[in-house]
Structure 1
């Protein structure tokens, strides 16, 4: 999230999770694309209507498990008719698996992130709410458990590489900004994407993956911040993912915190004659554009509409050079008060069904294990309250329900 003024060895599951992942009739994967549409395995148009579930903080497991079971969290998402979850992960987790002799247990992960005083307490809270976990459970196995429960309840998984180093995202000085930044090792990034794409084959409901969240300027020792560099890095990474798992869709994010993708939709020269053209990809029917928007101070829906359209949603139009689906994978606002009634929220609610396009709201989390040094951090933007027991603002959820219904109908 950014506020814009704001092969490989697969870890074995614990005994309680070792049964084969169930497949249910509601899951119709894999997905493909057809011009502006995402389509399921039955050829029916599919619209992502979902929520972000962070798992890329310092602990590097999905948030909220000290307060609620995975089943109860998924049930709340399901109860408002959402159909998908954007589940974020770090490259650091895969680096540990590949370079440091295996994944870290969740017990160790809490100790490392929260300290030897609060870490054990948090771990005990997690296993009390989620007794299928134990001292041998690893971080990746928690992701497996989340995917399993989402599948059980008929929801799809969209994986997102949110950060390289586990931490709150994003700033221009966090070392994760751009290719070659302090923590953004390009080879490790591609290896991490390959690993998760391969590992995700065991999740029947994994339908897509985002290559990188909110690319932005700020790298001190990285490659030039421009579209040519974007092309040189993103296109090979997409190829790595497609080779590792040809079934999943690949979401491409743009510059300036993923608010701009115009040169990709228009096929313009990105530098030295390089152009992004769908016709050059053997897996063109697996590519999707993602955009973010946090124009919370907006007072005019018309300017928001033209800005979003020109920055990327034009790809859904009939005149686009690269006609392809666009999904708004992050937008959001405070759940405290009446922000849901103001221009920003009401404009997004209008535009997404109007453009017949998908979206995933930021964020389900009522709180974080730790964020920016503060443990048990309150998330006022969270759809759920601090202890993940209920909706933070039922009126805002009612408004969101209207957007869900309109998007699914469209």
Structure 2
């Protein structure tokens, strides 16, 4: 017993001594750590930290043994931390160099892109043919392109829209907007009578009009402000739906075919980043949408609009929804195709002669989903697909926007996205929106020339955006217009020249 107490006392003294020396060593190590570089400092090896006394104490079952084991684990953790610290600091220079090598090509690519953008933004100087075209009177339209030269109703046959006798009717259309915007009325009714505007459209050579509306117009159906229909006094005091019908009737009375288009949910300029207007229904978004509608309400709005035109044979179809889209591909084609079938079949129950137009996803750029999942309607030979494309289309692709694409790259995308349907004689595709400004940049004209060259090569149906010289909001100038502010004088430039060539094929 006495010997045990003596040994315990001796060991206890050694423990205190080791503890004090360990504390001094730790302070010394910390001092060295902050004062020396990692290459100069020699950390103690793991073997130095394991003392024979630990095993001796553990075998004796002394209470100090547990404390020693705890200190041993703590020192082991410190040793591991030092190793990790050394390893990370050795790797840091390598990581920095790797990041630099990665950033150099990115910087080089962005520099080239910036230079190209500067070139594309430069003002375009009209070529000789375009200048000469603008100095000549507009040629008379071809009667063979008018719908009055065809036997109704229309239907589809392979890649074409044909009449009752199988003759192709090529859609050479123009968009006349306004009923889809915040004023709820087609533009220009304050400047010219609707019949005069219709006759001007016909003189330009177009045989059909795409007439957009907003769901909010159907929901509210407000009385149109008198100032917006000054040149049409018979429309004063009428509701928006009545004015929309009157404009449609004026177009068909002039011998123009009309395709009604559901453009947007909330009446405003389309198309922004607002998810509430990205699709045909927005009830899944809850209270964030000011103008809400379900899929069933969307279809009911269609029925309310089209019931007015059941007995008008020149209202030839319904373009179900403008530029369906989702953030980063969150609008699958299969979802849209199912909704289009449901709506299209409901409309065909009202009148089986109507053409049902289904646009692609990704803002109508992409109809490639129809390869594996075609839209199937209850009435045969009534389906027309539709695509859109502007100079900014194609963004997000490694090949860039259409404004900068080579013709070969542009055609490759067109064939993949929608033209395969024409090449395979599967279904008609109406290129329902294309357009460019009357004072274009080099990039504008590059896109336009590529597109028109391709549309001519495949003899495509098309719809130009737009007729209007002014936008509803703040009466802002519409640079894509084919009309001057008087709504009867055409803008004769490179666009009209190419469009006439496409019409007359």
Structure with the largest fraction of helix: 2
Q: Which segment drifts farther, 83-92 or 24-33?
A: 24-33
- Check whether the contact 2:367–2:418 (CA below 8 A) recurs between aligned residues: yes
What is the aligned length? 341
- The corresponding residue for 1:138 is 239
Contact 1:197 1:245 survives alignment (8 Å): no
Secondary structure class of the residue paired with 1:94 = helix
Q: Which runs of 5+ in 1 are unaligned?
A: 6-23, 97-102, 108-122, 269-274
Instruction: State the alpha-carbon separation in 2 of the partners of residues 125 and 143 from structure 1.
Output: 13
Find the counterpart in structure 1 of residue 277 from structure 2.
176
Report the Cα distance in structure 1 between the residues aligned to 2:313 and 2:212, rounded to whole angstroms.
Answer: 18
Partner of 2:491: 392
Instruction: Tell me, yes or no, if the aligned pair for 2:435 and 2:466 is still in contact at 8 Å.
Output: yes
* Aligned 8 A contact 2:310 2:350 in 1: no
Shift of 1:400: 2.5
Does 1:291 pair with 2:387?
A: yes
Question: Please, what is the CA RMSD of the aligned residues?
Answer: 2.5
Instruction: Tell me the CA shift for residue 72 of structure 1.
Output: 2.0
Aligned to 1:165: 266
Q: 1:197 aligns with which of 297, 306, 309?
A: 306
Q: 1:75 aligns with which of 191, 194, 199?
A: 199
1:350 aligns with 2:474: no
Q: What's the offset of the Cα at 1:56?
A: 0.4
Specify the SS of the correspondent of 1:106.
coil
Question: Equivalent residue of 1:81, what SS?
Answer: coil
Change (3 A) 1:184 1:342: same
Secondary structure, aligned partner of 1:312: helix
TM-aligned CA deviation for residue 239 of structure 1: 1.4
Give the conservation status (yes or no) of the 8 Å contact 1:384–1:392.
Answer: yes
Q: How does 1:4-403 map to 2 (within 5 A)?
A: 25-26=148-149, 28-54=151-177, 55-96=179-220, 103-107=221-225, 123-124=226-227, 126-127=229-230, 129-135=231-237, 137-173=238-274, 175-178=276-279, 179-180=281-282, 181=285, 182=289, 183-218=292-327, 225-264=331-370, 266=371, 268=372, 275-276=373-374, 278=376, 281-295=377-391, 297-318=403-424, 323-337=426-440, 342-370=445-473, 375-403=474-502
Where 2:191 maps in the other structure, the secondary structure is: coil
Give yes or no for contact 1:329–1:359 (8 Å, CA) kept in 2: yes
Q: Is the 8 A contact 1:38 1:45 kept in 2?
A: yes
Are the counterparts in 1 of residues 245 and 308 from structure 2 also a CA contact under 8 Å? no
**How far does residue 71 in structure 1 lie from its aligned partner after superposition?**
1.8
In structure 2, C-alpha distance between the alignment counterparts of 1:90 and 1:229, rounded to whole Å = 21
Q: Could you tell me the TM-score, scaled by structure 2's length? A: 0.63
| Superimposed CA distance per residue, residues 342-389 of structure 1 (whole angstroms, 9 cap, x where no aligned partner) | 32222222222321220001100100222xxxx111111111123424
Question: For 1:250, what is the secondary structure of its paired residue?
Answer: strand
SS in 1 for 2:472: strand
Residues 224-233 or 375-384, more deviating = 224-233
Q: 1:227 to 1:369 in 2, by over 3 A?
A: closer
* CA deviation string 1:175-196 (max 9, x = no partner): 2112325345322111111222
User: 1:277 Cα deviation (Å)?
Assistant: 5.8
The superposition leaves residues 231-280 of structure 1 with CA deviations (integer Å, 9 ceiling, x where unpaired) of: 3322211211211221110001121101011120x1x2xxxxxx3364xx
8 Å CA contact 1:210, 1:251 repeated in 2: yes
Q: Following the alignment from structure 2 to structure 1, what is the Cα–Cα distance between the partners of residues 362 and 181?
A: 21
Give the C-alpha shift of residue 197 in structure 1. 2.5
Asked if 2 retains the 8 angstrom alpha-carbon contact of 1:53 and 1:62, the reply is yes
Distance 1:214 1:353 in 2: 24
